[in-house]
């Protein structure tokens, strides 16, 4: 699997190089992901469908105060879920203002706590899912969209397409290696605070985000 990540990165770098070569007279700064993966390019869908999302860390959590999951249209409330860290192609994680590929864990949209760029390490909150559920939940990038506009029907369709593609869920071994101590926290503020430690560990360059999540705590 590490080889495939490496190959993906090499391919991506190649695409960047091609993009730069194509615009020799134009200075190009910081648009590598945008140049490599224009969201309205049909080829991008293929890139997303084959992109690896590797589990790195998984901690079940419980909230004393219920929270709302704003990352889908039906906005479910939740008091438990998983706090995950996943490894992805950094160029797919680079924030952009226009459409971004939605990250799914099984039949759930994942809340991205950090941006994962350039580390490629994303800290996620997956509501209403436990480790057992994770064992049957493929992790994948879906069609670029605003998560708040993703309907349950879209989620089901995206999951179906992924399953049809044969994208596997994380292996039991991977889950076992990634599993961390369960957390019980008061509210989302506390959960974000816990997440800030993971960001510091896995995507340490996001210092302003880390600091912001820790203010007053």
Q: How many residues bind other proteins (CB under 8 A)?
A: 41
Q: Indicate whether 26 belongs to the interface with other proteins (CB under 8 A).
A: yes
Q: Indicate whether 40 belongs to the interface with other proteins (CB under 8 A).
A: yes
- Structure-block tokens of residue 95: 């924030």
- Structure-block tokens of residue 32: 């590598």
Q: Indicate whether 95 belongs to the interface with other proteins (CB under 8 A).
A: yes
Q: Which of 78, 104, 117, 140 binds other proteins (CB under 8 A)?
A: 117
CA distance 20 to 26: 8
Binding to other proteins (CB under 8 A) within 118-177 occurs at 146-149
- Which lies closer to other proteins via its Cβ, residue 129 or residue 178? 129
CA distance 52 to 180: 22
- Structure-block tokens of residue 30: 């910081």
Counting every residue written for the chain, the total comes to: 217
Shortest distance in whole angstroms from residue 55 CB to other proteins = 21
Shortest distance in whole angstroms from residue 145 CB to other proteins = 9
- Which lies closer to other proteins via its Cβ, residue 132 or residue 187? 187
Q: Half-sphere exposure of residue 175, counting CA atoms within 13 Å on the CB side?
A: 17
Q: Indicate whether 99 belongs to the interface with other proteins (CB under 8 A).
A: yes
Q: Indicate whether 115 belongs to the interface with other proteins (CB under 8 A).
A: yes
User: CA of 19: how far to CAs of 123, 143, 193, in Å?
Assistant: 30, 23, 39
Binding to other proteins (CB under 8 A) within 192-211 occurs at 192, 208-209, 211
Q: Which of 2, 3, 29, 166 binds other proteins (CB under 8 A)?
A: 29
Instruction: Name residue 16's beta-bridge partners.
Output: none
From the list 52-60, 84-92, 170-178, 182-190, the region that binds other proteins by CB under 8 A is 182-190
Q: Indicate whether 71 belongs to the interface with other proteins (CB under 8 A).
A: yes
Q: Half-sphere exposure of residue 179, counting CA atoms within 13 Å on the CB side?
A: 14
From the list 91-99, 120-128, 151-159, 171-179, the region that binds other proteins by CB under 8 A is 91-99
CA distance 19 to 25: 12
Q: Half-sphere exposure of residue 15, counting CA atoms within 13 Å on the CB side?
A: 18
Q: Indicate whether 23 belongs to the interface with other proteins (CB under 8 A).
A: yes
85 Cβ contact partners less than 8 Å away, ≥ 6 residues apart: 55, 56, 57, 58, 121, 122, 123, 124, 178, 198, 202
Contact residues: other proteins, CB under 8 A: 23, 25-31, 34-35, 39-40, 70-71, 94-100, 111-112, 115, 117, 146-149, 187-189, 192, 208-209, 211-213, 215-217
């Amino acid at each position: 699997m590490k080889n495939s990540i490496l190959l993906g990165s090499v391919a991506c770098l190649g695409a960047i190089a091609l993009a730069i070569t194509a615009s020799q007279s134009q200075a190009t700064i910081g648009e590598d992901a945008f140049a490599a993966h224009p969201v309205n390019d049909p080829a991008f869908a293929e890139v997303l469908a084959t992109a690896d999302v590797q589990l790195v860390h998984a901690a079940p959590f419980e909230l004393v105060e219920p929270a709302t999951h704003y990352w889908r249209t039906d906005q479910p409330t939740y008091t438990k879920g998983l706090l995950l860290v996943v490894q992805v192609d950094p160029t797919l994680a680079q924030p952009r203002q226009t459409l971004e590929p939605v990250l799914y864990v099984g039949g759930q949209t994942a809340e991205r706590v950090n941006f994962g760029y350039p580390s490629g390490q994303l800290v996620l909150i997956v509501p209403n899912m436990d480790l057992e559920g994770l064992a049957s939940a493929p992790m994948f990038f879906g069609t670029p969209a605003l998560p708040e506009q993703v309907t349950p029907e879209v989620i089901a369709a995206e999951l179906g397409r992924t399953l049809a593609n044969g994208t596997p869920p994380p292996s039991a071994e991977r889950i076992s290696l990634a599993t961390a101590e369960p957390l019980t926290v008061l509210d989302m503020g506390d959960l974000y605070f816990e997440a800030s430690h993971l960001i510091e560990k896995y995507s340490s360059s996001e210092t302003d985000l880390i600091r912001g999540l820790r203010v007053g705590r």
